[in-house]
Amino acid sequence: MHSTNNIQSKKLVLLGLAETGKSTIIKNALEGIITRPGEKYDATINYQRKIKRLCGLEIIIFDLGGQTRFLDKFTGDLSRFVFSDIDAFIFVIDPLQTALYSRSKYYLELSLERMKIFSSNAEIFVFLHKMDLIPRPDRNIISDNLKKYLTSEINNPIQYFETSVFNESIYEAIGSIISKIFDLKRIFNKTLIDYITKNIKTIVEVHLLTHEGIFLLQASNNHFKNSIPHKKIRKYFIYALEQKILFNKENTVISVEGKKNVYLTYFLERGLAVLIAVSKQNLTQDVKFSSEIYEDILKFAFSLNEKSNLLTKGGR
């Protein structure tokens, strides 16, 4: 972990050909801007450096322009600047750009060569992006073939994600990366599991997210048979976020009622949020019990805030 001005930071680099959706990924997952179908953004000229703050830490994001003249510069004269001290490298490819597969493979391999020199311990990810535009029956075969092609001459361990900004997949992918590079499981996982164990008859799932809705960690109660799809979790989180913004609901539990569960969201300090799915049947058995749950959630939120302080202290 790097330190700038006594603030611990991680370097995240996104690289890929032009029009693969790198900037849109950043806008949606890390800046909370929701892209509408058909909406387009200007191409990135050269590169953009942005900072995302979370729990007193900094994610330093490099969004690299995808035009050939920029890619050649990044992997050439500027390679030391671009590829030094990377914690997570994301290569973005649009599977619909079939005519450009060989160029993508070329720049991926070149990037990996540079990272062997400047950031040998970096985590490497490939996003097969805009997967929602591929007909569902064709997705698996296109994805499998593209993975085989890209890694046919690569020995580096690479984790693949199939992503889109129009569903929950991009929030899952970015969340997985952030959680890994900051080792969030070590800090928060026991607290989430202990809370489930303490409320074994009532709590179905607990999700730790960012204020933009990135999925960081999850704890599930095995007493309830079916897990809740992230698509549904995101739906209720977005509703809670809208309530927070429209009605200035700060420091309060925002409740959204579903068919089987009630979804309770609390926006923590320092960019975190917690969403708790409570069995609807158990929640509504009596009013006193319900009020106790709300009180308990506030205590739980306080404990998560305390845990987040350990990230900046580097503690356990």
Torsional sign, CA 252, 266, 28, 97: negative
* Average pLDDT of span 62-74: 96
Q: Is 287's pLDDT higher than 50? A: no
Integer Cα distance of 296 and 68 in angstroms: 55
**For position 316, what pLDDT does the model report?**
45
Integer Cα distance of 201 and 162 in angstroms: 35
Integer Cα distance of 237 and 70 in angstroms: 38
Q: Is 307's pLDDT higher than 80? A: yes
Domains defined along the chain, listed by start: 2-181 (3.40.50.300), 184-313 (3.30.450.30)
**For position 39, what pLDDT does the model report?**
79
Q: Is 285's pLDDT higher than 90? A: no
* Average pLDDT of span 10-27: 96
Where is pLDDT greater, at 227 or 291? 227
Percent of the chain's residues with pLDDT above 70: 92
pLDDT 10s digits, 249-273: 777 889 888 998 999 999 998 899 9
Integer Cα distance of 306 and 311 in angstroms: 10
Structure tokens of 252? 């309060």
Integer Cα distance of 207 and 266 in angstroms: 11
Residues 6+ apart with CB under 8 A from 147: 126, 128, 160
Please give the model's pTM, rounded to 2 decimal places: 0.92
| Best CA proximity match to 122, nearest among 10, 5, 8 | 10
**For position 286, what pLDDT does the model report?**
47
